[in-house]
Each structure stands twice: as structure tokens, then as C-alpha cells.
């Protein structure tokens, strides 16, 4: 019997009301407008696993991340952490403990750090907020340990964020996330604002910390080369829906969904295999007025009448989860 997953996302929806002011709508006779950012998304993340969400900008990746950590409420569906529903009365009673167990690393390390605080105060804030330590000497010692853990010198605690490079600032953000002794960390494109050489250093640090501390990651990125280095399993998002979920190696060696193939064809072929590649065509539709049927059909070379009429369901296709009529009908 396999152990229960640490994180379970069950039929998650998030709809935003983007209508104009009421008086403007009445005078101009315009209807209310709704944007569906996340539509019926379900997945689970096992302990010590890295589950990656990939997709173009506007696919709903960051919205899912914010819902999981509690920064946004879901319109429908549920998120369970270690079997506890985030919306249940039990979760409200244990909110402080759940918040401690879940931390987040943001995309822009400079924007996520308070520029008026010294680094030692930034890293010590979770220790004080969750009541993990009270004694000043203990807090200073723990901050020094965390700085060394992420590859910085303890003396760096006396500096301000603007005195560091982008990669060093992201190390500070990682140290702050680790201060609360979390089990689960949501990484929202943590390397996209960094240089390529620095990206590799941060990714290697995160993998080492995962092995050392037994961490579980939800890793969000639009860069498949980065995801290949980090992820155990990958979920591909398009227009707020999961279109494919597969182990990392299988997804890269044999992508099933046409959108996954398109994303992989956009990755530079450094090995010069000579494989025929299809260039990225079109762009993601407006989520306020999405196409009927399969959301990907306006860009898909395999679409037919059923694709234009009926939304595909994520189903098991030879051990892989794929939402595609072409795969289900063996056309792809």
C-alpha cells in the first residue's frame, strides 16, 4: 500500500469577476465578465516529491500556487495538506501550524524581500511569527545556520537586500522559507529572473536541500529545461486545465498531448538530434472568452469537429493522464 500523498488538489476552480463598475455596465448595457483562471484541476504530490506545473504565461500556474498556500480562496474544489482540508473548521483551528508547514519562494527575489529590513531580521521573522524561538541568542544562532545552509556567510545578515546580487537574494528568500521548518514549499518560477549560470546554482541548492531536509516541492515554471532537471512528475497546464500528467522521463521521451509536443519543440536542441520540430504557432486564447470544446483546438494540427465541440476529460491512456480526443481515438 502506497503512503498517502502530502498534498491533494481536488477539482479546483478559480473564477475572477472582471466586470466594469455597476453604473458603467448599466449605462453602456454591458454584461458582467468572468475570467476562469483554473478549471477542474486535480493532482496529488507525494512526500519528498517534486511535482512541476508547466505552461505558457496565462495558463493558471501562479493562481494554483496562491490557492494552495492560502493567498487566494478557491471558487470551487478543495486543497488538502496531510489529509486536512484547507477550508475545513479543523484547518482553521490549526491554521498557524499549517502555514508553518507550507512556505513559498516567489519569482522576484528583490520584490519579495523588505528593502528596509536587514537580512537577519528578514530570515528571523518566521521564527518570531510562529513562536518557534524566543531567546535573542537562539534566533541569531539559527539565522547564522540558515545563511550557511544556503551558501552565504553569517556576517551577511547585517546587510540589506540591495547589497546582494539576484542569485544571493534568492538564497536569502530560500533561507527565510526554511526558517519555519516547512515540509512543503511552493516554488513560483524561482529562477526565471536570474542569469542562466546562477539558475543552475539555485536549482542544485534546492535539490540538495530537498535531499537533506526531506522537502516536498511544487515547482512552477515555463522553462522545460529547468523542469527536466528538477521534477519527478510534470503536469502540463493550458488555459487553466491540465492536459497531461506524466513522470518527467516519460513526458520528455514520449509526449502525448499536442500542446506538450509544441512546448518541447520550443526547447533548444543542444544535442542536434536532427528531429523534425514544429515551431510554436499562435498564442493562448483570451480566458474571458475561451474557445468552445478543447481550448487548444485553434492551434492544434490534429483537431476535428469533436475537438471544436466537446471538452476532453483527463483520462488514463496507457498509464499516462492525457486530455485529448486525438489520443483517445488513436489519431495521435
Which pairs with CB-CB distance under 8 Å and at least 24 residues apart come from 281-285?
A: 283/56, 284/56, 284/57, 284/58, 284/59, 284/238, 284/239, 285/239
pLDDT tens-digit readout, 287-305: 899 999 999 999 998 999 9
DSSP 68-87: HHTSS--SEEEEEETTEETT
55-112 tens-digit pLDDT: 988 899 999 999 999 889 999 999 999 888 887 776 666 766 788 899 999 988 888 8
Cβ–Cβ under 8 Å, residues 236 and 55: yes
Tens of pLDDT along 105-135? 998 888 889 999 999 999 999 999 888 898 9
Q: How far is CA 96 from CA 53, 91, 102, 146, 311, in A?
A: 27, 9, 10, 22, 40
Asked if residue 253 has pLDDT above 80, the reply is yes
**268 pLDDT more than 80:** no
Other Cβ atoms less than 10 A from the Cβ of 197: the count is: 8
User: What is the rounded CA–CA span in Å between residue 291 and residue 307?
Assistant: 10
State the Cα–Cα distance between residues 221 and 192, nearest whole angstrom.
Answer: 8
Of all residues in the chain, what percent carry a pLDDT higher than 70? Answer: 94
Grid cell for residue 209:
536541500
pTM above 0.95, yes or no: no
Instruction: Count other Cβ atoms within 10 Å, centred on residue 159.
Output: 16
Which of helix, strand or coil describes residue 132?
A: coil
Kindly give the pairing relationship between strand 216-221 and strand 50-54: parallel
User: What sections of the chain are H helices per DSSP?
Assistant: 22-28, 61-69, 89-93, 95-101, 119-129, 136-149, 166-178, 196-213, 224-230, 248-253, 258-265, 305-309, 325-328
Mean pLDDT throughout 239-266?
92
Amino acid at each position: 500500500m502506497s503512503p498517502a500523498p502530502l498534498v491533494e488538489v481536488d477539482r479546483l476552480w478559480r473564477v475572477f469577476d472582471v466586470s466594469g463598475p455597476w453604473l458603467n455596465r448599466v449605462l453602456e448595457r454591458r454584461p458582467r465578465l468572468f475570467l476562469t483562471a483554473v478549471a477542474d484541476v486535480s493532482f496529488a504530490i507525494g512526500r519528498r516529491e517534486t511535482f512541476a506545473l508547466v505552461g505558457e504565461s496565462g495558463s493558471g500556474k501562479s493562481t494554483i500556487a496562491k490557492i494552495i498556500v492560502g493567498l487566494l480562496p478557491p471558487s470551487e474544489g478543495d486543497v488538502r495538506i496531510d489529509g486536512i482540508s484547507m477550508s475545513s473548521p479543523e484547518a482553521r483551528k490549526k491554521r498557524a501550524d499549517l502555514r508553518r508547514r507550507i512556505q513559498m519562494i516567489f519569482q522576484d527575489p528583490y520584490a519579495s524581500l523588505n528593502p528596509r529590513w536587514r537580512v537577519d531580521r528578514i530570515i528571523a521573522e518566521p521564527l518570531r511569527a510562529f513562536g518557534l524561538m524566543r531567546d535573542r541568542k537562539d534566533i541569531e544562532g539559527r539565522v547564522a545556520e540558515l545563511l550557511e545552509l544556503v551558501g552565504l556567510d553569517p556576517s551577511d545578515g547585517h546587510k540589506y537586500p540591495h547589497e546582494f546580487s539576484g542569485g544571493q537574494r534568492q538564497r536569502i528568500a530560500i533561507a527565510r522559507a526554511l526558517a519555519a521548518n516547512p515540509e512543503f514549499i511552493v516554488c513560483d518560477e524561482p529562477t526565471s529572473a536570474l542569469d542562466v549560470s546562477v539558475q543552475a546554482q539555485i536549482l542544485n541548492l534546492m535539490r540538495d536541500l530537498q535531499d537533506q531536509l526531506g522537502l516536498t516541492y511544487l515547482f512552477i515554471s515555463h522553462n522545460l529545461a529547468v523542469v527536466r532537471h528538477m521534477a519527478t512528475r510534470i503536469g502540463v497546464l493550458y488555459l487553466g486545465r491540465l492536459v497531461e500528467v506524466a513522470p518527467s522521463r516519460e513526458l520528455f521521451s514520449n509526449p502525448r498531448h499536442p500542446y506538450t509536443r509544441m512546448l518541447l519543440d520550443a526547447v533548444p536542441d543542444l544535442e542536434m538530434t536532427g528531429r523534425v520540430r514544429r515551431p510554436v504557432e499562435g498564442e493562448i486564447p483570451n480566458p474571458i472568452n475561451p474557445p468552445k470544446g478543447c481550448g487548444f483546438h485553434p492551434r492544434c494540427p490534429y483537431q476535428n469537429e469533436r475537438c471544436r465541440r466537446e471538452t476532453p476529460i483527463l483520462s488514463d491512456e496507457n498509464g499516462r493522464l492525457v486530455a485529448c480526443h486525438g489520443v483517445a481515438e488513436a489519431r495521435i
